[in-house]
Amino acid sequence: MLAVGEGLRLNFATTMANAGSNLLTIAPGVASKNYLGHSANMQLKFTKRDIKTITALPNITSAAPQYGFDTKLQYYDRYTYSNFQAVAPEYAAIHRIQVGANQRFISAVDFKERKLVVVIGSKTAEKLFAPEENPVGNIAYIENRPFVIIGVMQKKAQTWSTGGMPDAYLNFIPSSTYELLNNPQKIDTIAVTYEDLKLLPQTQNIIQKIIALNHGFDPNDISILSFSDIAKNQEKTNKFFVGMQIFLGIIGGLTLLIAGVGIANVMYASVAQATQQIGIQMALGATKKHIVSHYILESLVATAIGGIIGMIMTLIFVFLLRLIPMKGEFFAVIGKPEPVLSFLVLTIVIVVLGITGFIAGLFPALKAAKVDPAEALVYE
Amino acid sequence: MNDIIIKLQNIGKTYQTGKISFEALRNINLEIKRGEYVAILGPSGSGKSTLMQIIGCLSTPTTGNYTLAGKEVGGLSSDELAKVRNLYIGFVFQKFNLMPHLTVVDNVALPLVYRGVNDNERTLLAKEILAQLGLSNHFEHRSNELSGGQQQRVAIARALVTNPEVILADEPTGNLDSKSGAEVVNLFNQLNAQGKIVVTITHDTDLAKHAKRVVEIHDGKISN
Ligand SMILES: Nc1ncnc2c1ncn2[C@@H]1O[C@H](COP(=O)(O)OP(=O)(O)OP(=O)(O)O)[C@@H](O)[C@H]1O
Ligand SMILES: [Mg+2]
């Protein structure tokens, strides 16, 4: 039970790690009130200057413009409508994007020379190419311009990305190329990497004020920017999974409780049956401690045997679960839950089992220690 | 050194069952010296077993004082009583009272477990005493694989393994045929000859004859 929960959580943790954790995405918003000649509802538009100012701030390691657009990608007579992100080369590292062998993500040279290159998502590749075809090196057309496919993102389970869409559906071109071709008047979003998560609230605050200053907006108007911070999202999802694990844990706990009561009952019966033997042991000099430890030990042994059987059954169960093929978009997004018996779970289970066995044995053992040897021996 | 090992003064025992109280023993005065062989003789229900439980520190008297080997036993906790039993008393019961799931050796070694003797030494001592009682061929048997007479000898070995001052036997021949009974009686004579106090409790006048001293008990009182 716990193993399944732990598996889901670990799986999610790795999935989330795939999204890159020290990343802050900043999107422009609108002014909420009139301020020094700017009227409310005025749209903020990022400029190159904003990028420079942000880069200069403390706790910031990089800031890069990002543009997003939806358009048609054509390869001979095949085409697909897809979302494109125009990004800097660092994007790959931040988002832990990986391409196949002998392929590349947008390189520094691609970026500098504003090359017409595209990295396509694994889903895009599936739509344009047959499985046996190698997309890399082929030319696909974006808005009638020939782009060389330099890489296909490797399939990875990822639940959250800056575009709000799993990376498998995204395609990437250099932002410099995009700027050259489209001469955009505004930057869609700014991807910022930072050093220290603890300083993030302050950093956000400073960014907010300085951008407002750049554009003559009210420095206290928080609605001009919206931040989305992967670390925070990750925390939320992690909480959800911890919650789920607690739920599974409670079910497991109830099972243990029932098992504990069962063991206690059996122990009570065996104590009642052994009253005369307990009397004999006491006549021979056994103290309460001897009797109590004997019955607790017996209970622990019973629990250990039960625990080992349970553990073996769990292993079989986990093994069978892994055999079940789980396909489809849902699992592509959340990742296939592979139950694992982690060391932590195992330790918890052993400790909990030990406590259960101890408590289940304790009360019958205390009852055994109360046996009056004289009475126990009279009723021979 | 005081030779009086067992000293009962004005001992009374009253059983309380709900609202009914029953005086099983009253005004018992009894002294047993080192090396004595005493039979406590009385009809059924006279209070023999009750007296034996008090002498053996299995229960405490309602009134009076009991001094065992110079120590006042009254007021001891149940764990302290357990230690006293382990040190001074070897019990022999009518129904042998062996532990059915243990081997003969482990049965005999059991009192040493409570004394904290280590495993090797326990086994050694148990085997030694069993050999003396002619049970060398039965070390690893379970008690229910033995005859009654053999079982009682195992029980006597268990009583002797701690080398106690007092052997306390309640109807030790009650469940035995006459031949095995005679063997047990012989064994007691030998033990007494070696200096142990032997106290047998019985309603059998023939068995009582083997003792050097007979204490008769009727309706919870000593009558001779
Ligand atoms: N735990 C008890 N509660 C109440 N009454 C008891 C208890 N134990 C013994 N008695 C009563 O005390 C009296 C003496 O009992 P005891 O067992 O000492 O007799 P006994 O001489 O050993 O008899 P027997 O030869 O049958 O073994 C009996 O009447 C018995 O019913
Ligand atoms: Mg009796």
* CATH value at residue B165: 3.40.50.300
pLDDT, averaged across chain B:
93
Contacts of B31 (CB under 8 A, 6+ apart): B4, B6, B7, B8
**How many of the other CB atoms lie within 10 Å of CB of A95?**
24
Q: Extract long-range pairs of A206-213: CB within 8 Å, 24+ residues apart.
A: A206/A57, A206/A58, A207/A26, A207/A54, A207/A57, A210/A53, A210/A54, A210/A57, A211/A44, A211/A46, A211/A50, A211/A53, A211/A54
Asked if A287's CB is within 8 angstroms of B114's CB, the reply is yes
Nearest to A151 by CA among A92, A76, A93, A111: A92
Query: B127 lies in a domain?
Result: yes
Assess if residue B138 is contained within a domain. yes
pLDDT at A17: 46
Residue B3 belongs to a domain: no
What integer is the mean pLDDT of B85-102?
A: 94
Residue A284: list chain B partners with CB under 8 A.
Answer: 85-86, 91, 110-111, 114, 158
Question: Mean pLDDT, to the nearest integer, of B46-75?
Answer: 93
- Mark out chain B residues that contact chain A at CB-CB < 8 A: 49, 53, 56, 58-59, 78-79, 82-83, 85-87, 91, 93-95, 97, 99, 110-111, 113-115, 158, 162
What pLDDT, on the 0 to 100 scale, is given for residue A48? 86
Verify whether the Cβ–Cβ distance B82 to A380 is below 8 Å: no
- Note the pLDDT of residue B153: 95
Under an 8 A CB cutoff, do B97 and A280 touch? yes
Q: B92 in a domain, yes or no?
A: yes
A303 with A352: CB under 8 angstroms?
Answer: no
User: What pLDDT digit, counting tens, does each position of A146-198 carry?
Assistant: 999 999 988 665 544 444 556 677 899 999 999 999 988 888 889 888 888 88
- What burial class does residue A303 get, using C-beta atoms within 10 Å of its C-beta: 0-12 exposed, 13-18 middle, 19+ buried? buried
Residue contact B53–A374, C-beta within 8 A: yes
Structure tokens, A227: 């931040």
CA distance B224 to chain A (A): 26
Closest chain B residue to A289 measured between Cα atoms? B79
Domain that holds residue B129: 34-61+76-222
Q: A34 touching B, CB under 8 A?
A: no
In a domain, B203, yes or no: yes
Task: Tell me whether residue B29 is in a domain.
Answer: no
pLDDT at A136: 93
A282 token code pair: 């006491």
Separation CA B88–CA B92 (nearest Å): 13
ipTM (interface pTM): 0.93
Q: pTM of the predicted model, to two decimals?
A: 0.63
Q: What is the pLDDT of residue B77?
A: 93
pLDDT of residue B120: 95
Query: With bands split at pLDDT 50, 70 and 90, how would you rate the model's confidence at B78?
Result: very high
Question: Is A368 an 8 Å CB contact of chain B?
Answer: no
Low-confidence ranges of chain A (pLDDT < 50): 12-13, 15-20, 159-163, 328-335, 380
Q: How many domains does one find in chain B?
A: 1
Question: Is B208 inside a domain boundary?
Answer: yes
User: For the ranges A190-204, B160-174, B209-223, which has the lowest average pLDDT?
Assistant: A190-204
